[in-house]
Amino acid sequence: MTEQVKGKLEPEQGKKPIALAVVLVMLVASLIFVVLFASKSIGYQQEIQIATGKEIVEHFKALDKKLGYADLSIAALSTRAGSWNEDAALLSLQASYLLEDIDYHLAELFHIGAAIDNEAFANVDGQSASQDEIKKQQQLLESFSRTDLPADRLEEQLQAAQQQLQQLHSIVQQFNFRLEGNRNAMIRLSSGFDWIELAKQMDDIIFNEAQ
């Protein structure tokens, strides 16, 4: 090989390792970027799931507390059927507010449940069904002050409303409140585990009453 040919080949051979190194660096950089982006995306998705899980827990906690209060309020009203007074009026107003709060938390749970498993809640629009049933109970409370409504009939209706509240409360109390604060448990909740069947049972009770 002549010196002239060797002089032409050496620069070209020197360029190949440099070009290969540049390509490898770009590939590694691309892979790092993809891994970082995927990790960030997964982390963001998990934060959304954890937030949803916390929301589910808060709704169950609120229902546990307010269903218990509503049960006591309506039980107290039931003993006052036929003897309306200011105390009964206050209890009636308190129970009405509690029913509104209960409706809100039920509707939110049904909404989250439908987003996870639409078929499980396909028989009814959870929000409108719960609102219809709550309105019926509120109208019952409003009728408490009517003097033309027989006391025994009013007491019977109040007891029926109380029974439904107790059924809902019994289902809520089956929820595992000890899951609160556990990140993995919150992610499970956001996927429907450990609670959606309970919501479906409450949905069925309200749907059957609303028919």
Residues 6+ apart with CB under 8 A from 89: 145
Integer CA distances (angstroms), 113 to 14, 107, 118, 198, in order:
64, 10, 7, 10
What mean pLDDT value characterizes the chain?
76
pTM assigned to the model: 0.72
Between 185 and 16, residue with greater pLDDT: 185
Query: How many Cα atoms sit within 13 Å of 140 on the Cβ side?
Result: 23
Please give the Cα distance from 184 to 51 (Å, whole number): 12
Distance CA 45, CA 4 (A): 63
Query: Does residue 172 register a pLDDT over 90?
Result: yes
Residue 123's alpha-carbon distances to 66, 137, 167, in angstroms, are 26, 22, 20
Q: Among 147, 142, 80, 70, which residue's Cα sits nearest to residue 103?
A: 70
Higher pLDDT, 208 or 65: 65
Q: Which residues lie closer than 8 Å to 117 by C-beta, 6 or more apart?
A: 192, 196
Where does residue 70 rank: exposed (0-12), middle (13-18), buried (19+ CB within 10 A)? buried
Q: Is pLDDT of 84 > 70?
A: no
Q: What is the mean pLDDT of residues 95-103?
A: 86
Question: Domain segments of the chain: what residues?
Answer: 52-210
pLDDT tens-digit readout, 123-167? 555 445 555 656 666 566 665 555 455 667 777 878 888 898 999
Q: Which of 9-18, 24-33, 72-81, 177-186 has the lowest mean pLDDT?
A: 9-18
Higher per-residue confidence, 29 vs 52: 52
